[in-house]
Structure 1
Amino acid sequence: MLDLPLIWAGLIAVAVLLYVMLDGFDLGIGILFPFARSKEERDVMMNTIAPVWDGNETWLVLGGGGLLAAFPLAYSVLMPALYLPVLLMLGGLILRGVAFEFRFRARNRGRKFWTQMFAGGSILTAVAQGLILGGFIQGVTVAGNRFAGGPLDWLTPYTLLVAAGIVAGYALLGGSWLMMKTSDNLHGDAKRWTLISAAAVTLLLAAVSIATLFIHRRIATRWGFDLSEGFAVDWSTLAPLLLIPALGLAGLLLVVGMARRGSHRWPFFGSLLVFLSGYLGLAASFMPTIVPYDIGFRQAAAPDNALGLMLVGTSVILPLILAYTAWVYWVFRGKMTEETGYHH
């Protein structure tokens, strides 16, 4: 007998992870857009993601739609709690999508305007996603399986700190992606952006981790820290979990070390390891909870017959999405220059 709630929880978790990793680097391109030296460099930056940016957002649709269909109780609680940052995120995605297409067709002042809108939409989306994540981590007020908090519960110093970390993380992904996809002066700029972003990610990730332990005691307990009376550590709990931050540290060292050595590809894979580490850390902190800290994923799941029917359709569509995504990345592999590009 298939454990359908667990399967769907895994599918949604993987979809969100793929979205963060894949759309993260093209959001990072937008975040870095204002720092490019010229219109030509911005054209190359945009052309590196032109074939894949819209496909990357497929995973957000799968994650959000899957949450609604497979875990309707969780959706009904989380959405009212996070309506405003979700709307900000959608507004940012729409703005950057429109700007992406219009910028290539605009001239002079129009192009400058859409350049600013692309950067602004990317930053807005990243900040909103950070606020959503921060609001999720700090927990949602639930009473009678309904959201019982206020409309601005998600806006706290902690969530702003998380948002800053997400912006820095996406900039790291974007910079390391450009290192892999560009050459000459732009590659050198991307290397500098990557190293600066790596330093920012290191500081912000440490700050968020420490703040999480002291602000959210349940997570501290999950990781083996007892902060109720002083500071005590349960090493039997903490020791196996240390592999997760070790993975993130290895990713950061890979980014910095390989970037300084002039590697074109390894810094990007190191950036992916950093995000994978953070995601695994979230899983270790919350599973099996899907609405922190009150509702588990089994409690929130739809009936098995509905989950089974959706799984049949997903088992057909998901391999097609994966195959198409892999094919696009393969076709548009290699370096991008001013003379080549999706829009040429």
Structure 2
Amino acid sequence: MEWYLPVIWAGLIGTAVALYVILDGFDLGVAILFPFTENEGERHQMTRSIAPFWDGNETWLVLGGAGLFVAFPKAYSIIMPAFYLPVIVMLLALVFRGVAFEFRIVAHTSVRWWNVAFFGGSLTAALAQGVILGGMIQGIKVENGAFAGGAFDWATPFSLLCGLGLASGYALLGATWLILKTEGQVAIRARRQALIALMLVLGFMGAVSLYTPFLLDRIATRWFTTPNIYFLWPVPLVTGFVALMLWRWLDQGRELLPFLATIALFLLGYLGLVISSYPYLVPPTLTVWDVAAHPSSQIFMLLGTLVLLPIVLGYLVLVFWVFRGKVREGEAYH
């Protein structure tokens, strides 16, 4: 087997997951902040800021799932049974949230309930994604190349901690997005919300970072043994520096820099997870090479992906360029 093909596919899937978390994260975060608005005009302003982007952002979730199925079918056959319940809850929540987004625009007498559905679906999806992440970090029980655990192995305090942490991170992304893309009372309130969300995110990041080495020896060995510790110590140091700058930029009234710093926080947290788990795709036993498809299948799908990926990225850049600018209360982009 060509050793580099699973690495390329792992990189593509990892990139798709990162793009999904960042891009769909800010519109999930906007919905999570829905209950803290004062009137329907503000909620309309918030949804208009994400209207051109939210459905396209979920493309990366499809790419990540499809890539896993094609390039690592054995991993797919293990991971899905391990997380059937949270995956189903996440997908139903995303569907419910999408329906609510469209219906609340045209609803009049029932807009209040669609607002609740929009918030509830987004929060539930965020929590489910964090629970899946926590379950993956904990590891999956595998015997004879198949899932050998129970349907609720993922249901632990640690996975709930990850769920709450991810939801807080999405709220931070949503708040910094509103600072960047809106004006008036929505942007003013979003700045205060971002400071609160940042404190929550740092608390959850610290708790997860301290919990995992005690929970899992393999992660403690990866981070705290020599010579690894000499190379990895900059990751938490840079994370702390970015968080400090984010706080300062929020306090100084900056608009773009807080959003970029929040993205950097997510990427640094993601890097920490990759360092903790690589090369295991089904931790703690199966590497990317153990679960890879036949090289011919990987090459065939890789050729199609390399053609389509630049098109999708080009469309993404075009949309963000066309709909640049701020959304004021009572109007769309200008």
Q: Tell me the TM-score range normalised by the shorter chain.
A: over 0.9
Contact 1:183–1:335 (8 Å) recurs in 2? yes
Cα distance in 1, alignment partners of residues 326 and 306 from structure 2: 34
* 2:7 is equivalent to residue 9 of structure 1: no
- The Cα of 1:252 is off from its aligned counterpart by 1.3
How high is the TM-score relative to the length of structure 1?
Answer: 0.95
Q: Percent identity?
A: 49
* 1:23-38 map, 5 Å: 23-38=24-39
* 1:211-290 map, 5 Å: 211-224=211-224, 234=225, 236-290=227-281
Which shows bigger deviation, 244-253 or 272-281?
Answer: 244-253
Cα distance in 2, alignment partners of residues 178 and 93 from structure 1: 21
Contact 2:184–2:328 (8 Å) recurs in 1? no
Contact 1:179–1:264 (8 Å) recurs in 2? yes
Give the AA of the match of 2:69.
L
Q: Give the equivalent residue in structure 2 for 1:187.
A: 187
Deviation by residue 1:68-90 (Cα, 9 ceiling, x = unmatched): 01000000000000000000100
Cα distance in 1, alignment partners of residues 78 and 125 from structure 2: 22
Give the AA of the match of 2:46.
M
Deviation by residue 1:181-215 (Cα, 9 ceiling, x = unmatched): 11121111000010000000111110111111111
Q: Give the equivalent residue in structure 2 for 1:48.
A: 49
Q: Give the equivalent residue in structure 2 for 1:230.
A: none
Give the AA of the match of 2:295.
D
- The Cα of 1:2 is off from its aligned counterpart by 8.1
Cα distance in 2, alignment partners of residues 58 and 340 from structure 1: 27
Contact 2:172–2:262 (8 Å) recurs in 1? yes
Deviation by residue 1:13-34 (Cα, 9 ceiling, x = unmatched): 0000000011111110111011
Q: Give the equivalent residue in structure 1 for 2:330.
A: 339
Cα distance in 1, alignment partners of residues 166 and 75 from structure 2: 23
Q: Give the equivalent residue in structure 1 for 2:150.
A: 150
Give the AA of the match of 2:12.
L
Q: Give the equivalent residue in structure 2 for 1:135.
A: 135
Runs of 4+ in structure 1 off by over 4 angstroms are: none
Cα distance in 2, alignment partners of residues 84 and 340 from structure 1: 41
Give the AA of the match of 1:61.
V
Query: What RMSD, in angstroms, separates the aligned Cα atoms of the two structures?
Result: 1.3
- The Cα of 1:235 is off from its aligned counterpart by 5.1
Contact 2:72–2:293 (8 Å) recurs in 1? yes
Cα distance in 1, alignment partners of residues 327 and 263 from structure 2: 21
User: Unaligned 5+ residue runs, structure 1?
Assistant: 225-233
| 3-state SS in 1 of match to 2:227 | helix
Contact 1:248–1:276 (8 Å) recurs in 2? no
How many residues in Structure 1 have an aligned counterpart in Structure 2? 333
Q: Give the equivalent residue in structure 1 for 2:303.
A: 312
Contact 1:47–1:336 (8 Å) recurs in 2? yes
Contact 2:161–2:204 (8 Å) recurs in 1? yes
Cα distance in 2, alignment partners of residues 250 and 84 from structure 1: 38
Cα distance in 1, alignment partners of residues 191 and 327 from structure 2: 16
Q: Give the equivalent residue in structure 2 for 1:200.
A: 200
Contact 1:142–1:149 (8 Å) recurs in 2? yes
| 3-state SS in 1 of match to 2:293 | coil
- The Cα of 1:249 is off from its aligned counterpart by 1.7
Cα distance in 2, alignment partners of residues 251 and 140 from structure 1: 33
